[in-house]
Amino acid sequence: MGRSVVISLSLLHLGPERKVKCYNRYFVNRYVFHTEGYGHERKIYNNGFYVKGSTCSEFEIDYYGK
């Protein structure tokens, strides 16, 4: 076992980090996504998303999410 693996395993038993950085928006492939909290007081706000299904079989399942 390498030294970095031993250190990683020793840190793993401590559990998740208690401090987190939160963002009200994020960028993916030049698209901007906002959290619900960011937009709920705005006059115009789009919420949710749609992904067109594309598979190798005859079944294409579209996904609608929030």
Q: Residue 1 in contact with residue 10, Cβ under 8 Å?
A: no
Spans of all domains in the chain: 21-65
pTM score of the predicted model = 0.39
Q: How far apart are CA 30 and CA 8, in angstroms?
A: 34
16-62 pLDDT, tens digit per residue, is 878 888 888 888 888 888 787 877 777 877 767 777 777 766 777 77
From CA 54, how far away is CA 61, in angstroms rounded?
A: 7
22: amino acid identity, one letter: C
